Amino acid sequence: MNNSNMPEPLPKVDIEINPRGSMELLSQREIDALSTGARHGEIQDLFRRCALAVLNTGNETDDAAAIFDAYADFSIEVVKRTRGLQLKIQNAPASALVEKRMIEGVRQHLFAVLRDVIYIGTEISDALLYDMTTTAGITDAVFQILKQARVMEAGMRPNLVVCWGGHSIGRSEYDYTKRVGYHLGLRRLDICTGCGPGAMKGPMKGASVGHAKQRVVGGRFVGLSEPGIIAAEPPNPIVNHLVVLPDIEKRLEAFVRLGHGIVVFPGGAGTAEEILYLMGILLDPSNANLQLPVVFTGPEESADYFAAMDDFLRLLFGDAVEGKYKIIIGDSEAVGQYMSHAIRNVHRARRKSGDAYYFSWLLNIPAAHQEPFEVTHESVAALNLVRDQPLEKLAVEVRRAFSAVVTGNVKDQGIRLIQKHGPFELRADSELTDALDTLLKSFAEQGRMRLIGEYEPCYTVKALN
C-alpha cells in the first residue's frame, strides 16, 4: 500500500489514564459493554478507531486508511475497576502528550468518545428503546445522544451558529473564517462545526477572541463527528463539547436541529453534501415557514466558488432555491450582523410556535434524509441522478453522490473499496453529468479534495444511455 500521504509517524508512547467527572459514574453494565458481551468486539473496535483519531489530533493527514495502517499496533484497553474504569493505552501517537502527560483537551475528547460509543452501543442500539426504522425514533435517538453529551441548555436563548466548510482550504480562506467567527463571537454567538481543521477550526478560533473581548464565560464550541470521518477530521483543540453520532445522517440531523443559523464557507465534496442535505429540508413544503437563516460566504477570491455552487443548485432546483440562502462575499462583519439579526427572528418564531430553543422538534426531515446510505460500488451506481423527480428526492440522491465521493476520498472503508475495485461510478442524465463533473473537477483543481498529496479521483461520472 502506498502511504505517501501519511507523514513519518511520530514516536509512540504507552500511558494509563483515569476519567474525570461523569465518566467515573459508569455502571458495571456500561463497562462490560467494552470488555464482555455479544457486542464487545464491535464496540471495542469502534472505540479503538475513534480513540486513535482523537490521539492523532495535530498530525496533518486526511487519509484514514494510512493513519490506521501507520498505527496498526495501537491498542486501548478498558480496565474494569469497582469504582469506574481506567484506560490502558499502548503505541499511541506521542503528540498527544506533553512532558509525559496527556494534553487535557485530548483527554476530554477521548472520554467524550468513550461516553458516546458506550451510549450508542448500549442504549441507542436497543431496539426496545429506540425504533430506528421510524423518523420519530431516529430523531429521539439523536436528541438523547446530544442530551447525554450535555450540549443543550434549556434556558438559553437561541445563539448557536453552525459553520460548515472544507478541512482543506487556502490560507486566505482560513483567515476569513476566523474573521467571521470573531464577528459572531462579538455578538455572543456560540459555534458548532464538524470539529475538524480548516473551516471547522477557524470560526471557533475567531469566536474565542470575540468571546474574550465580551467576557463571555462558558461559551460553547460544539464539534459533531461520526466514526467514519473522525480520523480524517480529528477534533480541533478549541472544541469543548465533542459529540460522536452513529453515522453521517444523524450527524447532519444534529446540526440542523441544534443550530439556529448556518454559515457555509468554501469546501469540497463534504460541504456540497451538507448543502444538498440542507436544500432537501428547506425545499420540503412542510418546512415552508421554517426560520433557519443560511449564509454562503468567503473572501473575494472565493466568489467564483460560490457562483459555481449557486449555478449548480439552480440547475438542480430552479427558482425554488430563491431566498433559501444569502451570499455575502468579502465582508465578515456583514455576516456577523446578518446572522445576529436573523437569529433574533428565530427566537421570536420559536417563542410563537412553541418549538424548543435548544432542539428544533418542529423541523421536518424527510425519511430518505434519515436513512443511512451504505456506500458500495453497487449502491452508488444505483443512485437515481436524474432531474425529473420531486425536488426533495433529487436532493437526497445528489447528496448521496457527494457522500460517496467523501467516503472514497478520506474514509478508511471507502479508500480500501477504491483500492480493491476501482472508482465509484456516478450515472446521471446528460446535463447533470456535465454539471457534476465540472463541479467535482473544480474542487480537485482548487485543492479542496485532500490536505496533502496529489488527488486521484475516486469516482467517474457517466451519462445514462
Rounded Cα distance between 70 and 213, Å, is 42
Q: Are 168 and 443 in contact (CB under 8 A)?
A: no
Q: Are 127 and 106 in contact (CB under 8 A)?
A: no
pLDDT of residue 59: 64
Q: Count CB-CB contacts under 10 A for residue 382.
A: 11
**Which grid coordinates are listed for 434?**
456535465
pLDDT of residue 331: 97
SS3 77: strand
Ranges in the chain, pLDDT < 70? 1-10, 20-41, 58-65, 80-84, 127, 450-453, 465
Rounded Cα distance between 210 and 204, Å, is 10
Which CATH number describes the domain made up of 140-367? 3.40.50.450
pLDDT of residue 262: 98
Interaxial angle between packed helices 269-282 and 248-258, expressed in degrees from 0 to 180 and rounded to the nearest 10: 60
**In sequence order, what are the residues at sequence separation of 6 or more whose Cβ sits closer than 8 angstroms to the Cβ of residue 133?**
none
pLDDT of residue 236: 87
Domain spans, the chain: 12-129, 140-367, 371-463
DSSP string over 313-346: HHHHHGGGGTTS-EEEES-HHHHHHHHHHHHHHH
Interaxial angle between packed helices 104-119 and 40-55, expressed in degrees from 0 to 180 and rounded to the nearest 10: 160
pLDDT of residue 22: 47
67 CA to centre of own chain = 19
Interaxial angle between packed helices 391-410 and 269-282, expressed in degrees from 0 to 180 and rounded to the nearest 10: 160
Identity of the amino acid at 177: T
**DSSP-derived pairing of the beta strands 190-193 and 160-164:** parallel
**Which grid coordinates are listed for 387?**
432531474
pLDDT of residue 363: 94
Q: Are 208 and 192 in contact (CB under 8 A)?
A: no
**DSSP-derived pairing of the beta strands 294-298 and 261-264:** parallel
Rounded Cα distance between 205 and 211, Å, is 10
**Which grid coordinates are listed for 182?**
470573531
Phi/psi at 223 (5° precision): -115, 125
Distance set, CA 344 to CA 220, 258, 259, 294, 419 (Å): 18, 16, 13, 14, 49
**DSSP-derived pairing of the beta strands 75-81 and 261-264:** unpaired
**Which grid coordinates are listed for 227?**
466514526
Q: Which helix (H) or strand (E) holds 448?
A: none
Rounded Cα distance between 31 and 40, Å, is 10
In 3D, which of 394, 344, 343, 400 has the Cα closest to residue 375?
400
Rounded Cα distance between 94 and 12, Å, is 5
pLDDT of residue 60: 65
Domain 12-129 in this protein, CATH class:
alpha beta
12-129 and 140-367, same CATH topology: no
pLDDT of residue 4: 45
Rounded Cα distance between 432 and 318, Å, is 13
**In sequence order, what are the residues at sequence separation of 6 or more whose Cβ sits closer than 8 angstroms to the Cβ of residue 84?**
18, 19, 23, 24, 25, 26, 31
Beta strands in 82-135, from DSSP E residues, in sequence order: 84-93, 97-98, 101-102
**DSSP-derived pairing of the beta strands 97-98 and 221-225:** unpaired
Percent of the chain topping pLDDT 90: 50
Q: Is 446 left (phi over 0), alpha (psi -120 to 50) or beta?
A: alpha
Write down how long the chain is.
465
pLDDT of residue 146: 94
Query: What is this structure's pTM?
Result: 0.88
CB hemisphere CA count around 229 (13 angstroms)? 28
